[in-house]
Amino acid sequence: MILPGDRSESIAAAVDCIRGGGLLGLPTETVYGLAANADDDQAVAQIFLAKGRPADHPLIVHVADASAVAHYAAAMPEFAKLLIQAFWPGPLTLILRRHAGVANAATGGNPTIGLRCPSHPVAHALLKALMKDSVWGLAAPSANQFGRVSPTTAAHVQGEFGDDLLILDGGSCSVGIESTIIDCTRGAPVLLRPGAITPEQLQAECGLRVLSKDELDASSAPAPKASGTLDSHYAPRARVRLMIAGDLQRAVDVLGAEKQGLASNEGLRVAIYSRFWLEPSTIPVLYRRMPDDATATAQQLFAVLRELDAQGVNEIWIETPPADPAWAGVRDRLQRAAG
């Protein structure tokens, strides 16, 4: 059931659902989450079950504000405090050392916890209301079946989990790709997942260089399993192929010849998502133009993948985004979609 997220009755119904140990479709500025009380291990177990997600993949816990951090986190380095000041509420998740005994199931038993304070007004209103009822946080992975494309509208969530799930409608997500994840437990900030907030922006605020995963000392403890970091993830049913503009143009030319019966391999149905403009009349394929800037592309990316996939094409051909740092989040999701 989808309820309008901007009504106080909807927030009240969502509070009842969470306090009763239920699951909820939660709008955030990044993607929709499948949420449960982070301190209710049984409720959290239902998330793993519904998603088909392995129980050792830790979930992000969403909090109303920085005051809830102390409930979950045992220690916080100075640079993490600066990042919270600068970027919360917003699309930034911090991995911190966890107090023993809190959010056990949500963290998959890891000694650390991922915390994020979302800026979406509906998520914020719900988290505030829950905190008054002593619910400190919502564990919420993206509200999609394991390995599939993340949802950016309430209808996407309903498509994944059916009409029995209570979903708060918060409109289309404004960021569109999952939060940037920074590990704060290794002395220096380490980027675990790129997102809308870039390492350059983080460095400017905390004064420390953000390390990549590859730069981690090989002798340090391995990071826990993390779905968003698996090589094949965010995948539609259709095969995704990433190509630079020149290769994509050549593939399109070949396809055009095939459609006119000039080459074999007909029957292949293709959708194209590219920044370079494809004359719509030259070739009978589904075509969506990729915006010129990374922010606009991130915002629509998952909805476009779902929309093209729903047309029943065999392949989705996508132009490789620019190497510019601003595009890192989009590039990462596309590389994983191409698996």
Q: Which residues bind Mg ion (CB under 5 A)?
A: 142
Cα radius of gyration rounded to whole Å, the chain: 21
Rounded distance between C-alpha atoms, residue 316 and residue 304, angstroms: 11
**Cis status of the peptide bond prior to 91, with omega within 30 of 0:** no
31 binds ligand TXA (CB under 6 A): yes
CA 183 to chain centre: 17
Cα separation of the two ends of the chain: 33
Contact partner at residue 113 from Mg ion, ligand TXA, none, CB < 5 to 8 Å by partner kind: ligand TXA
Strand, coil or helix: what is 44? helix
* Token pair 């605020």 in the structure block, residue: 205
Contact partner at residue 201 from ligand TXA, Mg ion, none, CB < 5 to 8 Å by partner kind: none
What is the nearest approach in angstroms of Mg ion to the Cβ of residue 166? 20
What is the nearest approach in angstroms of Mg ion to the Cβ of residue 147? 9
If the CB atoms of residues 43 and 272 are measured against ligand TXA, the closer one turns out to be 43
Closest C-alpha among 140, 115, 113 to residue 28: 140
Closest C-alpha among 62, 55, 67, 145 to residue 104: 55
156 Cβ contact list (under 8 Å, min separation 6): 32, 143, 144, 302, 303, 306
Contact partner at residue 95 from Mg ion, ligand TXA, none, CB < 5 to 8 Å by partner kind: ligand TXA
Region near ligand TXA per CB under 6 A, out of 51-59, 197-205, 234-242, 276-284: 51-59
If the CB atoms of residues 110 and 297 are measured against ligand TXA, the closer one turns out to be 110
If the CB atoms of residues 173 and 243 are measured against ligand TXA, the closer one turns out to be 173
Region near ligand TXA per CB under 6 A, out of 66-74, 138-146, 212-220, 264-272: 138-146
If the CB atoms of residues 20 and 52 are measured against Mg ion, the closer one turns out to be 52
Taking CB under 6 A as the criterion, the residue among 5, 27, 58, 199 binding ligand TXA is 58
Number of Cβ within 10 Å of residue 331's Cβ equals 19
Contact partner at residue 31 from Mg ion, ligand TXA, none, CB < 5 to 8 Å by partner kind: ligand TXA
Cα dihedral 111, 117, 120, 125 in deg (nearest 10): 100
Element (H, E) at 37: strand 33-37
Taking CB under 6 A as the criterion, the residue among 33, 189, 236, 329 binding ligand TXA is 33
60 binds ligand TXA (CB under 6 A): yes
* Token pair 């809190």 in the structure block, residue: 102
Contact partner at residue 93 from ligand TXA, Mg ion, none, CB < 5 to 8 Å by partner kind: ligand TXA
Taking CB under 6 A as the criterion, the residue among 37, 110, 158, 320 binding ligand TXA is 110
Closest C-alpha among 95, 93, 156, 101 to residue 119: 93
What is the nearest approach in angstroms of Mg ion to the Cβ of residue 277? 32
Taking CB under 6 A as the criterion, the residue among 193, 306, 331, 333 binding ligand TXA is 193
Q: What is the DSSP letter of 325?
A: G
C-beta separation of 23 from 47 below 8 A = yes
233 binds ligand TXA (CB under 6 A): no
Q: Which residues bind ligand TXA (CB under 6 A)?
A: 28, 30-31, 33, 57-60, 91, 93, 95, 107, 110, 112-114, 116, 140-142, 178-179, 181, 192-193, 223-224, 226-229
